[in-house]
Amino acid sequence: MEPGKIMVIGSSNTDMTVVTSRHPEPGETVLGGQFRMGAGGKGANQAVAAKRLGGNVSFVCKVGSDLFGDNSIQHYKEEGLDVSDIMRSKVSSGVALITVDRTGENSIVVASGANADITVDDIESIRKQIESASILLLQLEIPVPAVRRAAQIAHKAGVYVILNPAPACSLPQDIFNYISLIIPNYSEMHLLTGVEPVNAEMADAAFREMRSRGVRDIILTLGAEGCIVDQYEKGTRVSIPAYKVRAVDTTGAGDTFCGALCVALSEGRSLVEAAGFATFASSLAVQKLGAQEAIPYRKDMEDMAGRA
């Protein structure tokens, strides 16, 4: 049976990455090492991850009418994504400046460009495509009103709506009513709930606060510690440990997780099974440098599983 259609609406950036021994202090210059330029943006990363891992994926974003935009669309076509609803803007395409230290930790500055030009009217223009999806995956590198409207349309049509609330920002209260599953990391959970999940008791308080907003299911990602899956209907909370690997670059790990999770859900797996699949995929991603360059293919996962 063909997997359900996954639609990703989000950002498209060109990533410029420098690897350094450490992150510079304010006012300091640190001589770096390797420089790489490649495709990025949380929306694009998640769409590419879902496609590489076996999903039936369409990607909606907005890029500039410039060389970066042309190159991005060509890249998405080569990845096999449905790009028929990608929009063009008079504003320049988005770029991200990324610094990665020797431990694999990153710091990122984003110039949003055309990503910030996505409007509610743009979302209305693809209403039918949203309504025909099985899963809608959203993030917060595009304007919140556009995210809210996309979630609202999808929810009304019975589409399973997933929000990865990154980068963290305050959100209108009613948006949570349209979300089927939210996937925050530690800092995003803290910002959204006001509760820092530093231990089991505080994590429980954070989950309860998030649930009070109207979200049904929650996955709290914890990097090297794995993730916690909290399910409303089953009344269960399951911890999934991370795989022990040597992290080279964590830039695309969370995006790989989200894309992989959508694929597993589209194939009919349970939320806990899907989270396990996503955890495995992200463990492969952190072992390589880059965002999309590091995203594994389904065959990579199958080969690695066969060696285990």
Q: In whole angstroms, give the CA distance from residue 38 to residue 292.
A: 8
Q: Are 103 and 82 in contact (CB under 8 A)?
A: no
Q: State CA 240 to chain mean position distance.
A: 19
Whether pLDDT at 289 is above 80:
no
Tokens describing residue 208: 């309860």
Q: How many domains does the chain have?
A: 1
HSE-CB of 50 using CA atoms within 13 angstroms: 35
**More confident: 3 or 87:** 87
Share of the chain above pLDDT 70, in %: 98
What is the pLDDT of the chain when averaged over all its residues? 93
Give me the domain span that covers residue 277.
5-24+31-307
- Are 288 and 294 a contacting pair, CB within 8 Å? yes
Count the neighbouring beta carbons within 10 Å of the beta carbon of residue 177.
Answer: 12
Residue 37's pLDDT is: 86
Q: Which of 251, 228, 253, 226 is nearest to 238 (CA)?
A: 228
Tell me the C-alpha distance between 192 and 168, whole Å: 8
Beta carbons of 99 and 22 less than 8 angstroms apart: no
Q: What is the DSSP string of the chain?
A: -PPPEEEEE---EEEEEEE-SSPPPTT-------EEEEEE-HHHHHHHHHHHTT-EEEEE-EEESSHHHHHHHHHHHHHT-B-TT-EEESSPPEEEEEEE-TTS-EEEEEE-GGGGG--HHHHHTTHHHHHT-SEEEE-SSS-HHHHHHHHHHHHHTT-EEEE---S-----GGGGGG-SEE--BHHHHHHHHS----SHHHHHHHHHHHHHTT--EEEEE-GGG-EEEEETTTTEEEEEPPP----S--TTHHHHHHHHHHHHHHTT--HHHHHHHHHHHHHHHTTSSSSGGGPPPHHHHHHHHHH-
Most distant CA pair in the chain: distance in Å?
Answer: 56
Under the banding of pLDDT at 50, 70 and 90, the label for residue 277 is very high
CA angle at residue 229 from 289 to 264, to 5 degrees?
Answer: 60
Q: What percent of the chain has pLDDT over 90?
A: 72
pLDDT at 308 over 60: no
pLDDT tens column, 142-190: 999 999 999 999 999 999 999 999 998 989 999 999 999 999 999 999 9
Active site positions, annotated: 255
Say yes or no to pLDDT of 141 above 90: yes
List the CATH number of the domain containing 185.
Answer: 3.40.1190.20
Q: Are 37 and 292 in contact (CB under 8 A)?
A: no
For residues 14 and 94, the answer to whether their CB atoms sit within 8 Å is: yes
What average pLDDT does the segment 253-259 reach?
96
pTM given for the model: 0.91
pLDDT at residue 1 tops 50: no
